Amino acid sequence: MKRSVSICLLILTLAPAIAAQNDARALWLVRSQTLTSDLLKDAADLSSMQRAVLWMKLAQRWWREDPKRARIWVLDAIEVVEQVPNKETPEERQRRLETAQVLLAIITPLDQKLSNRLLTVLSPDKSTQDEGSGTAFALIEAATRILEDNPKRAAELGALALRTGQPSNIDPLFYGLRARDPKLADSLFVQALAVAKQNPGGMFTNILTYVAFPAERGRDANLPVPPDPLRIELLQLLMTFINTSPANGENNNLNCGAVAWLTPLFGPFERLLPQQWPALRQAINTCQSVSPQIQQRIHDYSRNQQLDSVESLLRAAADAKELETRTNYKYRAADLAKEHKDYELAFKILNDLSTDERKLMGESWDSCQWDWAADGAIEHYQNSRFREMNLLLDSVPSDFQPLAKAAFIYRLPKQGASETGPIIQILNDAITGLRRSNIPPADKYNWYFPLLQATVKYQFADANAVLKDAIASLNQVKEATELNTADYLKYIGTPLVEMDEFVVKDALASITLVQTRAHLRLALLDATLQRMRATSRN
């Protein structure tokens, strides 16, 4: 009897909380459905191919919550690309197959049977080499999306991609797969080598060198690599290409170009293929005598191995006779100083560049000004050096100060600021400076949107004004980014979902380009569905 009473009391206690949870979920569900209705209205104003992509992206988002409706959208999207118009032009065919590749990348992680229908559309025996590579690219994109949850399936998709074309985006799949299942990675790399052997001098072989020798190719030295036997097989493939007997002077230059291109791999050649190293050494000597440019490149590489300090790079710059070489050494010295967190020295080197050197760097010199200042300010902030943080940001040339401060705000640690006072001042300075800056109006939204998230967090009352500025800038853009591209504005959904629903709804409705409007509504739908799911879990 007592137990029954206790259970009844527990039910009565939990009932209000359960009811509140259900109400909250219902609210987020209604908001998600309203956004979906708006997106379906947008679809009516899109081309048939863009409409298919939008349907597929809606299906992707609703796949768990409303699988029946999501499947209908998927089938509608697939039917669009399955239908071949009478007298289809090459341009129309390319458009249709590119759309099918986008659909394939989205549906493959969700449903294998439906992805097979798209593979039929993209069947290699109907495709040119370029189309096959596009399909392979889409398969690798799908494989990368499911890698964390299903490495085996990701490897299968990778193998299918290699049977279809030569995917240029395969290296992240290799890195991730090797970290999770080295045996699967080894098997896939063997298949990739077989593809590379069909054209040793092609771009795909170059991509594999980044997988097998990431450190030598300038990537993170801690990335996992294939075992030595597989790396040796790749080097032997490269040696075959180098050893191709030249038939004339033009081919000779081509071979020497390959020798110069492989200069970063001379160390692995010497270590892993010692018996063939003398032949490569001879090729190096021959090529140095054939072309002064190739000789310079090989010499620069050999010297670069010793240029491991700011001082040695600056000495090399002082000795360099060519403008391009001198500028490159100075930039590397500044970048190395920045990596060592000596921002004062980095900016001194950067600002001491001559007019011609700055001109050669082009926009890179401009971006270094605000980019490095933002990094340095973050370093000072994390060590509670607020005075130094402000001095560094204020020392940036006035044209770049709003960008430096905006980048700093965007890069703030996600866990939040320990001292909000300095942050709010910098945020306000960034917004005010951005409004007054000479940046083309059509480019400002790229800066307003990153600031919106911080504004919602620290200055909520100003969020509507920042969103208004962002939309006004966005409406200056004359050509929309197609839905085929990645969801490049997805990060905007998080701050938008925190703001007044009706203010945001009106703001998005005022966007003139339908693809852009759909991008933002999809971003908001993502965030809204995430809130609904979080409410269900609590």
pLDDT over 90 (residue 262): no
pLDDT at residue 342 is higher than 80: yes
40 close to 518: Cβ distance less than 8 angstroms: no
Least confident of 76-85, 119-128, 403-412, 495-504: 119-128
> With 50 as the cut, is the pLDDT of residue 258 above it?
yes
What would the pLDDT profile of 423-456 be if each residue is shown by its tens digit?
999 999 999 999 999 999 999 999 999 999 999 9
Q: What is the four-CA torsion angle of 402, 403, 407, 410, rounded to 10 degrees? A: 60
Q: Provide the residue type at 273 as one letter.
A: L
Q: pLDDT at residue 67 above 80?
A: yes
292 pLDDT tier (thresholds 50, 70, 90): low
**By the 8 A CB rule, do 167 and 206 touch?**
no
Count of other CB atoms within 10 angstroms of residue 390: 18
pLDDT in tens, 359-400: 999 999 999 999 999 999 999 998 889 999 999 999 999 999
Q: What angle do CA 233, 239, 244 make, to 5 degrees?
A: 135
**CB under 8 Å to 176, separation ≥6 — which residues?**
144, 147, 148, 154
Over residues 165-177, mean pLDDT: 94
* pTM of the shown model: 0.83
Q: What is the mean pLDDT of the chain?
A: 87
